Amino acid sequence: MSVRILFFASLREKLGVGAEDVSLPDGVDTVGKLREFLAQRGGDWSSISVDTRLRAAVNQRMADATMPVGEGDEVAFFPPVTGG
């Protein structure tokens, strides 16, 4: 299964990538499992699975760890933001 992953704000700067297309292995079918899969890259990537402040959206809809991820979905990860 292939998905498009977007990284925003300070997360993009930390990881050094704004977007990528990723082929997911069998069993990586939720936002939570995707976070764990990406964290396995090590280094700064490991924060993706442990940072409880990190937000996610699937196809531009806010998502929690149990939200399913399917073929062709766009998954975005971003830190919390404030307005003013």
> Taking all residues of the chain, what is their mean pLDDT, rounded to a whole number?
94
Q: Is the pLDDT of residue 82 over 90?
A: no
Sorting pLDDT into bands at 50, 70 and 90, what band is 4?
very high
CATH superfamily of 2-78: Beta-grasp domain (3.10.20.30)
Tens digit of each residue's pLDDT (9 = 90 or more) over 17-31? 999 999 999 999 999
Cβ neighbours around 24 below 10 Å, total: 20
Q: Is the model more confident about 73 or about 53?
A: 73
- Give long-range contacts, CB 8 A cutoff, 24+ apart: 60-63: 63/31
